[in-house]
Structure 1
Amino acid sequence: PRGLCPPPRHGSYNEHMQRVLAFLGEQGARQADFKAVYESIPLSPGVAELFQFLAKHRELFEVVLISDANVFGVEAKLRAAGARSLFRKIFSNPAGFDRRGYLTLGPYHSHKCLECPANMCKGKILTEYLAERAREEVEFERVFYVGDGANDFCPAGTLTAADVAFPRKGYPMHRLIQE
């Protein structure tokens, strides 16, 4: 439909997805449909191997996921991949099903970062998470940050000299780092 295309280039993706989800609800899509779709999304190349590595070395890594998708979709995919237990915490936009059975999406938080979309600043999330863990007297030798989107550039900028960013080659985060 015209009102849904093309998707926005920057900044209002969350609002765009709210419209898309409302449209899909009007077309009859329900929880089981969304779950099946999220579960069927293929993992990016190398991610299954990364999950296997992390599973073998759980004692060495504390893994969190920061995604501008939504909690319902992320959780469904991770469970289907047998990887949910690898993650200590998932930070994503809240999602749920309303009384009509429509999947609804909300913003994760508000923030003042001018680089990030209005609904989520991954840099703020990462910084606050690390500060919380420091208050709990958990220290990390280094942070490994894996990302691909333009919204992963902000948190990569919060990393220290000891930390490592892994941008997905050919994707917006990689291009921004090269610039």
Structure 2
Amino acid sequence: MYRTLEIGRAFKMSRPLLAAFDFDHTIYDDNSDIVARKLYPNDSLPDSVERLYARDNWTLYMGKIFELLNENSIDVETIESAINRIPSVPGIDTLLTELHSRDCEIIIISDSNSLFIEWWLNHKGLSHTVKEIFTNPATVDEESGMLKIEMYHLQDYCKLSNKNLCKGQILEDYISRRFAEGVNFEKIAYVGDGKNDYCPILRLSEKDVAFPRVGYTLVKVLNQTDDETRQVKADVVPWESGEEIFEDLKKRISSL
């Protein structure tokens, strides 16, 4: 069903590693959308909004949350402050900094939104470590001051992914584009925690490594023994801290 990422392994311009990261519960230690949702002053949301949560409509649901926050005078500065207070996952700041300093390429593939990720990375002084971010675009409406969100794309080809974001396709397209630009990666690492991180892991090869966070859904998915999970070719290394990831990668890549 999925082709693994074997393209361009022996190309003349190489980098030691492409590290692709999820964001929520992988780089920062919370779910940013839930952090924003908790700013709403009432305990319960309107039924019309709750029904969106029950369907595959996450970006529409968050758009309604942002409308409610705006209606209740929760401004963008308050939302940004709440996002910036989210702590890092242990050791992740150091991991990003060390990989960047060693000529590794870092990308983020997240079902959050562009403003949340950019705010937090800027606040932490980590923006320079990340080459590209793939996520749902978010803007602030100049007239209303309300935060707005759109789907990254609309897809119907991957049943493992939400309709607004197929992380596997994004990863595969990025590697193909970098190959066309003259860049080849010796290894690919994918770091995540959730069910929607399973699709990109299926597209990794035997030379690559998947890092599912201990205690989260992705580990449980990868521990299943059905025909689909047996398609995983990459080494699977559960992790609890960024230091563990870096120590594992140093053993695999001599130039680190």
Normalised to the residue count of structure 1, the TM-score between the two structures is 0.92
Report the CA distance shift for 1:147/1:121 in structure 2 as closer, same or farther (over 3 A). same
Tell me the percent identity: 33
Match of 1:43 among 74, 79, 88: 88
> Whole-Å Cα distance in 1 between the matches of residues 182 and 56 of structure 2?
36
Secondary structure, aligned partner of 1:29: coil
Runs of at least 4 residues off by over 4 Å: 4-7
How many matched pairs?
177
Paired with 1:170 and 1:105, the residues of 2 have a C-alpha distance of 30
What whole-Å deviation, never above 9, does each CA across 1:111-162 have from its counterpart, x for those lacking one? 2211111110001100000000011111001101101111111011111110
**Match of residue 151, structure 1, among 174, 188, 196:** 196
Q: Which one is further off, 151-160 or 46-55?
A: 46-55
Query: Which structure exhibits the higher relative contact order, with contacts defined as CA atoms closer than 8 Å and separated by 6 or more residues?
Result: 2
Gaps of 5+ in 1: none
CA distance 1:172–1:35, change in 2 (3 Å): same
8 Å contact kept, 2:99–2:105 = no
Aligned to 2:169: 124
Correspondence 1:105 to 2:128: no
Q: How do 1:1-179 residues align onto structure 2 when only pairs under 5 Å count?
A: 1-3=45-47, 4-5=49-50, 8=53, 11-57=56-102, 59=103, 61-98=104-141, 99-111=143-155, 112-179=157-224
- When residues 105 and 27 of structure 1 are mapped into structure 2, their CA distance, relative to the original with a 3 A threshold, is same
Equivalent-residue separation in structure 2 for 1:52 and 1:162 (angstroms): 23
Give the aligned residue type for 1:92. T
Tell me, in whole angstroms, the C-alpha distance in 1 between the residues paired with 2:221 and 2:54.
15
Q: Distance in 2 between matches of 1:133 and 1:154?
A: 20
Give the TM-score normalised by the residue count of structure 2.
0.65
1:93 and 1:106 in contact (8 A); partners too = yes
Q: Which amino acid aligns with 1:110?
A: L
Unaligned runs of 5+ in 2: 1-44, 225-256
Deviation at 1:20, TM superposition (A): 1.1
Q: In structure 2, how many angstroms separate the alpha carbons of the residues matched to 1:134 and 1:55? A: 19
Larger-gyration structure (1/2): 2
Once superposed, what is the RMSD of the aligned Cα atoms? 1.7
Is 1:144–1:163's contact at 8 Å kept on the other side of the alignment? yes
